[in-house]
Amino acid sequence: MRVFVFLLFIVGCWCDIQVSIDQNGRYNISIGNHVWLRSARTALYVDNKWYSSHDNTLPLIDISFAQGIDSNLGHWNETQLNYDLVRDGIHTKIVGRIRQWYSYSAITFHLDTGDQIMTNTVPLTMNTVRTVFPSFDIEQIDSNDQRGYFTIAGEMAGDDDKHAGRWNSSNKVIQSGMNSGPVVLFNLTQRGESDILVLSPFSRFMATSLSQTNNRLEYGVMGSILTIPANYNHSMIVFYSSEGINEGIRKWGKTMQKAFNRTNKNRLNDLTINYLGYYTDNGAYYYYNTEQGMNYEETMINVHNQIPLPFHYIQLDSWWYYKGIGGGVTQYTPMPNIFPDGLQALHRRLQNIPLAAHNRYWAYDTVYKQNYSFVLDEQNGKALPIGNDSFWLDLFTQTRDWGLILYEQDWLDRQTYNFSPTFTDIHIGHQWLMSMGEAADKVEINIQYCMALPRHILTALQIPRVTHARVSTDYAFHLKSETAPQWAIGISSMFADALGLAPFKDVFWSNSYEPGAPYSDSPREILPEREILIATLSTGPVGPGDGINYTNVERIMKCCRQDGLILKPDRPLTMINRLASDWAFYNGISQGELYSTRTTITNQTFHVIFASALKRDYSIYPSMIEAQSGVVWPYDDSTNVSSFSDVNPLNISHCTCSAASICVWYVSPLIQLTESTPTIYYALLGESNKWTAISQQRIRFIDNQIKNNIAIIGLQGAPNELVSINIFHTVLLSTTVTCPMASDTGVARLIITSSNMFCGF
């Protein structure tokens, strides 16, 4: 048997992924000398029946080759599997393309469905697919094959139905095609620290899915789609990394962003991500609840005037607009009993503070269908703007008049799987999201996605105005049940951030009890500090939702500077590779939450380690968080500085870091200060009264002048803000220096010498 073998060479890096294709069109993907994926079938469901390569009703007629250049990803070469589909005597050429990239460690699979329309009158379900290419067996290949997987799935950017397990034929890797998301496959013997594959849709995200039939992983057009137009195509990517789960997912995401030319400019400049805000959604004190004897207008004005926090915006949830059939939106304007004077007047009375506003699915009886093009689903009671007119532009232009800077599109899942046009028409879902995003860009409004399925998050690659997404279930569920770890976002944050979106944890309370809140079953927040920490280190919005009289200002201010600018790490807090691997090793039973993040200032990298709800003890070595040797200290005692190295790991106890507690450590490099003997070193520990001890929002630069025996640390903050910085010095030991920021520029310098530390401007 003749076998075609292609080794993918990566410009500027080394990788070891191969695809081999035999004369019958079967293909294997190998890492090193080990097969990881073996192909199953190529198939189409058309005219209400299956055509498949397995039974030769979709025969392979030949194999050809091509090469070319993609404007974003560069050079590629591909093997083309050419199939012959015969329907009523008409031959249609179906082409499965297996493409290798010169500059990326990825193989992409593309299916061209030919020049004929493909229609079904007896559709499959939305959880299956009606085109199959590629497909792979889910199997343990031999006794030495010890691989695991995890996948994001379901709403909240895949957080709700995420799961893990062993990669074998007995596991249901894809539990729902509609809810499915990328799958991460890794070697359990490497504990998630080396070889991984990411299997993900690569295009047509609203119309295609990963699905599972028996023990076959299949990708293609959603089974419920009635018609596939002529000359349609879709694609899937298998991305390889030798750098472990976190870095591999990050590089997969960068490749996806490059493929769609996504820019993160809007994310970086989004006020609602960068500054402290106030939230009123499900879990907040004022969710369908006002101050006693007041309406919402008076309540929001009191929030603004009476809570002594530097809020830069206020979020208005679903309680303010008109609703109709099925609770959907009929008119996106305020009800007079909510804001008697209207939103423009509210904006003025709030001293023009910007607003973020929630929206849900459109009701069948929406007033907008009278003047704009809406597709209707009477049975499900919903409607959707088609996106071929000025609806979104008109809507967003109106909202700018009352200070809207962030549009929150909630209930994305229900608008997708409880609305027949979006799961039967191949284009409508994409048109809906793209038209919304294009109008938002014209009006310069950013978008937050909420209750998004993975397909919505992937579509946001093409919509740069989508800057962040909810990655957790509603906070209210956590308040009602201590067993609902709404804060545990270490997996979903990994995916959202990789695709260019800031993860959003949701609203939180800063106190344990807030009498008068609109929730039954004695709502309680057992660890307010954990909520604030996770929100801060998520790199997404930080939005408390306390009652006016229950706000703990000191706790909340651990997130930010005096002026409300959030002190963030460079990347979100995510689950470390070892914990993600153990989640799969124990066949989907979580071993707890153990996360890390980092910040780099002038080539010096600082790390944060977080643990809670652990079920096992762990020892953390520098390589496990991509750190160098240095020092480590706990968040509640900056004088307790210890060595951190391969000889001295951080030992974490599950008894100490339980579900009812948090453990946080900070890791700093030891930096040489002098050339003299003995050599003096220092470690910049940062702000012990902030959750992000070292941040780019506070530390401008680190200037080490070893020949002059001096280090200069550039600081910034609000004018006249007092900033306390902790330093470990091998001569002076642990020291705290408090520096005032300049009254005009808001900057200062911290000078470290062999015998002293002091502030300057």
Question: pLDDT by residue (tens digit) across 278-307?
Answer: 999 999 999 999 999 999 999 999 999 999
- The CA-atom distances, in angstroms, between 442 and each of 439, 471, 568, 585 are 5, 27, 29, 48
Q: End-to-end distance of the chain based on CA atoms, in angstroms?
A: 76
pLDDT category, 15, cuts 50, 70, 90? Answer: low
User: Residue 4 pLDDT > 90, yes or no?
Assistant: no
Please report the pLDDT score of residue 338 as a whole number: 97
- The CA-atom distances, in angstroms, between 10 and each of 20, 37, 68, 75, 499 are 17, 20, 16, 11, 22
Q: How many CB atoms within 10 Å of residue 646?
A: 9
Q: What percent of the chain is modeled with pLDDT above 90?
A: 95
Quick: pLDDT tens for 35-66: 999 999 999 999 999 999 999 999 999 999 99
- The CA-atom distances, in angstroms, between 428 and each of 17, 152, 207, 380 are 37, 24, 9, 16
**Measured between alpha carbons, how far is 209 from 203 in angstroms, rounded to an integer?**
10
List, in order of start, the domains of the chain with CATH numbers. Answer: 3-259 (2.70.98), 266-559 (3.20.20.70), 592-760 (no CATH)
User: Residue 2 pLDDT > 70, yes or no?
Assistant: no
Identify the three-state secondary structure at position 572. Answer: coil
The arithmetic mean of pLDDT across residues 70-95, rounded, is 97
User: Residue 180 pLDDT > 90, yes or no?
Assistant: yes
Q: What residues have CB less than 8 Å from 144, skipping those under 6 apart?
A: none
Amino acid letter for position 51: Y
Please report the pLDDT score of residue 676 as a whole number: 84
Tokens of 523: 């709502």
pTM above 0.85, yes or no: yes
User: Length of the chain, please?
Assistant: 761
Residue written as tokens 């057009």? 221
Please report the pLDDT score of residue 483 as a whole number: 76
Q: What residues have CB less than 8 Å from 339, skipping those under 6 apart?
A: 295, 296, 297, 320, 345, 346
Torsion of CA 683, 689, 694, 695, to 10 degrees: -160
Please report the pLDDT score of residue 761 as a whole number: 86
Is there a contact between 682 and 727 (Cβ–Cβ < 8 Å)?
yes
DSSP strands (E only) in 519-603: 574-575, 593-601
Range with lowest mean pLDDT among 6-15, 125-134, 488-497? 6-15
pLDDT category, 7, cuts 50, 70, 90? Answer: very low
Is there a contact between 283 and 507 (Cβ–Cβ < 8 Å)?
yes
Quick: pLDDT tens for 16-40: 789 999 999 999 999 988 999 999 9
Quick: pLDDT tens for 204-247: 999 999 999 999 999 999 999 999 999 999 999 999 999 999 99
Please report the pLDDT score of residue 12 as a whole number: 31
**Measured between alpha carbons, how far is 580 from 696 in angstroms, rounded to an integer?**
28
Is there a contact between 42 and 55 (Cβ–Cβ < 8 Å)?
no
Q: How many CB atoms within 10 Å of residue 438?
A: 15
Identify the three-state secondary structure at position 164. Answer: strand
DSSP strands (E only) in 624-731: 630-634, 642-644, 650-652, 663-669, 671-672, 681-686, 699-705, 710-716, 722-729
Please report the pLDDT score of residue 477 as a whole number: 95
Amino acid letter for position 618: Y
Is there a contact between 702 and 695 (Cβ–Cβ < 8 Å)?
no
The arithmetic mean of pLDDT across residues 69-78, rounded, is 97
Q: How many CB atoms within 10 Å of residue 493?
A: 32
Q: How far is CA 312 from the centre of its chain?
A: 24
Identify the three-state secondary structure at position 187. Answer: strand
Q: What percent of the chain is modeled with pLDDT above 70?
A: 98
Q: How many CB atoms within 10 Å of residue 731?
A: 13
* 477 DSSP assignment: H
Contacts of 370-376 with C-beta under 8 Å, sequence gap 24+, read 375/421, 375/425, 375/428
User: Residue 5 pLDDT > 60, yes or no?
Assistant: no
The arithmetic mean of pLDDT across residues 162-190, rounded, is 97
**Measured between alpha carbons, how far is 543 from 505 in angstroms, rounded to an integer?**
9
* Helices H / strands E in the chain, number of each: 16, 48
Tokens of 11: 């410009």
Is there a contact between 518 and 603 (Cβ–Cβ < 8 Å)?
no
- The CA-atom distances, in angstroms, between 306 and each of 302, 334, 547, 561 are 5, 24, 10, 20
What is the chain's Cα-based Rg? 27
* 320 DSSP assignment: S
Quick: pLDDT tens for 534-563: 999 999 999 999 999 999 999 999 999 999
Is there a contact between 413 and 453 (Cβ–Cβ < 8 Å)?
yes
DSSP strands (E only) in 298-386: 314-316, 321-323, 329-334, 355-359, 362-363, 374-377, 382-385
DSSP strands (E only) in 17-120: 17-22, 27-31, 34-38, 43-46, 49-52, 60-70, 74-87, 90-101, 106-112, 118-119
Residue written as tokens 């660890």? 527
Closest CA to 31 of 264, 187, 220, 206: 187
